Amino acid sequence: MLSALGSRFQVAVPDRVRLAPDATRQLGPGLPLPVAVRADPPGIVRIGGEEAGRGGVTTRLPLALQALQSGVARLDLSLFGWVPIRQVTVEVVARPEVVPGGQSVGVVLRSRGVLVVDYAPVPAGGGRAVIPAREAGIRPGDVIQRIDGTPVESDRAAARLIDAAGRAGRPVEIEFVRDGRTERRRLVPIFNPDQQRYAIGVWVRDSVAGVGTLTFYDPQTRRYAALGHVVTDAETRAELPAGGGEILPARITAIEPSRNGDPGEKVGVVAPGEAPLGTIDRNTPVGISGRLLREPLPGPESRPVPTALAGEVRPGPARIVTVIEGEEPRSFDIEIERINPAGGNGGKDMVIRVTDPELLAVAGGIVQGMSGSPILQDGRLVGAVTHVFVNDATRGYAVFIERMLEAAGSLPARQPVQAGAGPGSLAGDPGPALFCPLPSTEPDAWAQTLVV
């Protein structure tokens, strides 16, 4: 029986809890059983109205936890004072205040290196074609970072380095990253008569561009975050390591509404010669971030608002801020239906549903280009939209704002931000991430491929 109680308690109580100063939270199932709690160091939290220290406090379930001051404390919990059931790390951190976004932004992300998009057969005479890169084991999705030891800054730089090796009559060494591992291959470039230069037979890309939504910015540090999910290449689905880039003001000219089975999208344009809003220095599983160069057009919330930690978000009414026409962000009603307190993966911490009649009429619910649209509840910024459900466009996923604050450097990270499955992930049709491409009328250099 004691073993069963301990197992139930471990499922109900996370091993890490983050609170803002003076915040309260209840932990554990509602069982009328005595629990002894020892805290090290003392003075960080109060349990059941008493300051917890090394000497211990005896209380009953659920535990009434109150933060006293910033710091980290380890709680040792034991049933009846002698059956250990859980260790909990409690972190008390100041609650950041940021300005919610909602503005549509053009995103131009340059890769650190060049991304292999596809193979490009090289004519070899007699109707034959060869692909040296494929024969050497290079695959679409690989990111080429060095050629003959030289860092690759662009697709054209890659083409020049490969051509130089071919004209010198020597093999070329390609260093690339695949699934987080660095690998190297040596291969011989082949002269491509169509290109009049030596090549290894791949299409490469050094940047991607699209439309998303600014989530927040900190007026003190100028740090911002957007999108709520990682930027990937549309063809290979490979994540791009951030090698720089910009966000620019975007104007929404139309919305193609979502229909069940067919997610819609915002049609956005960036004016030629538009000055950047900010730079990009991070591309993480929960969005891009960087530094603002100037403030965006004000939205419904133009002043800093408190942010909610993950444990403070609740199911119930909320609002999203996004643009449906022009450049002005507006507020729309939604419902937070479900929450994964432990955090999901890939920006899937909450399930949300659009309830606003106007947004349903104009967009059919959630559309591509809404990724990063901030979610506000009870006067706090709580999260951002990330995905739409393909089979129900009124519903989708959202990420906790706490995770975006960590990734942007606005809140100390309690664990590395990483992709991959996590415990207790919310089930459902994941749908696509809501980053939509800029139209082809935008500058060619933004998302073109080059044969190398």
- Closest C-alpha to 341, from 302, 309, 386: 309
**What tokens appear for 237 in the block?**
């689905």
Residue 388 CA, distance from chain mean position: 15
- Name the catalytic one among 76, 281, 356, 392: 356
CA distance 111 to 450: 14
| C-beta separation of 99 from 220 below 8 A | no
Element at 114 (helix H, strand E):
strand 104-119
H helices present in 68-154, as ranges: 132-136
CA distance 148 to 135: 18
- Closest C-alpha to 365, from 234, 439, 256, 286: 256
Return the sign of the alpha-carbon dihedral for residues 153, 157, 159, 162.
negative
CB atoms within 10 A of CB 191: 15
H helices present in 175-233, as ranges: none
Question: 360: which residues sit within 8 A by CB, 6+ positions away?
Answer: 354, 394
CA distance 451 to 440: 19
Q: Is 387 a catalytic residue?
A: no
- Name the catalytic one among 78, 104, 289, 371: 371
Q: Is 229 a catalytic residue?
A: yes
CA distance 26 to 12: 11
**Tokens 């995905």, residue located:** 387
- Name the catalytic one among 78, 206, 218, 229: 229
Q: Is 392 a catalytic residue?
A: no
CB atoms within 10 A of CB 27: 22
Q: Residues with catalytic annotation?
A: 229, 356, 371
